[in-house]
């Protein structure tokens, strides 16, 4: 199994930057696809970015060119560097770990609030 703890959220002004971190515990980290998702009030949780165990990345169109996801397998950390933040980026951001081998594991952190003021 894996446990995830996010940090780094906070209040930032329009155009500012934040870096979120996700610390993972458990043996499956290295074989998991790691991702960041977000949920704004009244909205469904949506994909922000994912990074595979091999380092392949995928981004939502709304954050391409502004956000960068990365992972450090040795330290079991996942990062989300967020630049040029906009008020519409305001949400609770969740870290996710997913793998389907040798078993399906779909783990979530508790979330960290990001608020972008205009």
- Read off the pLDDT of residues 59-95 as tens digits, 9 standing for 90 and up: 999 999 999 999 999 999 999 999 999 999 999 999 9
| Interval 50-59: pLDDT, tens | 999 889 999 9
Q: For the segment 23-33, what is each residue's pLDDT rounded down to a tens digit?
A: 999 877 777 89
Is the pLDDT reported for residue 103 higher than 90? no
Cα–Cα distance, 24 to 100 (Å, whole number): 17
Give the number of C-alpha atoms closer than 13 A to the C-alpha of residue 13, restricted to the C-beta side. Answer: 0
pLDDT of residue 27: 78
* Residues near 81 by beta carbon (within 8 Å), at least 6 away in sequence: 17, 19, 67, 68, 69, 70
Residue of 118, 57, 58 whose CA lies nearest to 85: 118
Give pLDDT, residue 31. 79
Mean of the per-residue pLDDT values of the chain = 94
> Residue 2: its pLDDT value, please?
85
**More confident position, 67 or 1:** 67
| Contacting residues for 7 by C-beta, under 8 A, at least 6 apart | 20, 21, 22, 23, 112
Whether the CB-CB separation of 51 and 79 falls below 8 Å is answered with no
Q: Which two tokens stand for residue 21?
A: 């971190």
């Amino acid at each position: 199994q894996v446990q995830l703890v996010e940090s780094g959220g906070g209040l930032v002004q329009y155009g500012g930057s934040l870096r979120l971190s996700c610390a993972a515990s458990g043996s499956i980290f290295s074989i998991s696809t790691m991702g960041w998702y977000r949920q704004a009030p009244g909205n469904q949780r949506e994909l922000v970015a994912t990074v595979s165990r091999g380092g392949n990345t995928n981004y939502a169109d709304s954050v391409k060119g502004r956000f960068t996801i990365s992972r450090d397998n040795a330290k079991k950390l996942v990062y989300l560097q967020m630049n040029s933040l906009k008020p519409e980026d305001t949400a609770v951001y969740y870290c996710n770990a997913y793998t389907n081998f040798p078993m399906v594991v779909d783990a979530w952190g508790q979330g960290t609030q990001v608020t972008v003021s205009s």
